[in-house]
Amino acid sequence: MGLSDSFAFLSPSSISRGGKNAVRQMWDRVNGWPGGKALFSRLIGTMAPYTGTIGAEVLELRHGHAEVLMRDRRAVRNHLDSVHAVALVNLAELAGNIALAYSLPDDARFIVAGLSIEYLKKARGPIRGICDCPTPETSAKQEYPVLVRLVNEAGEDVAKATLRSLVGPKRE
């Protein structure tokens, strides 16, 4: 059985239908491995290809919390030599989505229904997306605000985002 067979539970149909919480299952499986965080981050980027374009790495993930690092590199910069606004939004969405996804009951799924972001200062250097979010107890239809801070290397907030995430039951 190859590595891809080990992650068959991550097919799009298994994530949105039946089964266990695939994000939690995958993180819990690989987090302790050497290179496991990088592997998890690449798999997330494969599942959501646009998200993968920023090359971020998930550093920490647990119920209601995620920390994701986006390194400063040319591919995420703008013409002003700072991190592009869209790369920051992408990082905020990634951090918020995996924090919420990890926290969901096995029978729940979610979708982002809206997103707002406030840019506080130019983003330069590595940026960390930090999310502390609600942990839904059930898959009952409900909207949750998911707050994400984007922080530079000095610990200063460069942006703050709020994702309006709709949680509901998985399709059978």
| Rounded-to-integer distance, Cα 171 and Cα 151, Å | 37
Looking up tokens 């949105």, which residue turns up? 16
| Rg of the Cα atoms in the chain | 16
Check whether 86 has a pLDDT greater than 50: yes
| Rounded-to-integer distance, Cα 158 and Cα 153, Å | 10
pLDDT at 53 (0 to 100): 94
pLDDT at 4 (0 to 100): 46
User: Which uninterrupted H or E stretch holds 145?
Assistant: strand 142-151
Average pLDDT value for residue range 151-162? 98
| 171: confidence class by pLDDT, cuts 50, 70, 90 | confident
pLDDT at 18 (0 to 100): 56
pLDDT at 63 (0 to 100): 97
Domains of the chain: 3-169 (3.10.129.10)
Tell me the whole-structure pTM to 2 decimals: 0.89
- pLDDT tens by residue, 88-143: 999 999 999 999 999 999 999 999 999 999 999 999 999 999 999 999 999 999 99
pLDDT at 19 (0 to 100): 80
pLDDT at 102 (0 to 100): 98
- pLDDT tens by residue, 7-44: 444 444 444 445 899 999 999 999 999 999 999 999 99
Give the up-direction half-sphere exposure of residue 40: CA atoms within 13 A in the CB hemisphere. 25
Check whether 5 has a pLDDT greater than 70: no
- pLDDT tens by residue, 55-76: 999 999 999 999 999 999 999 9
| Rounded-to-integer distance, Cα 136 and Cα 168, Å | 10
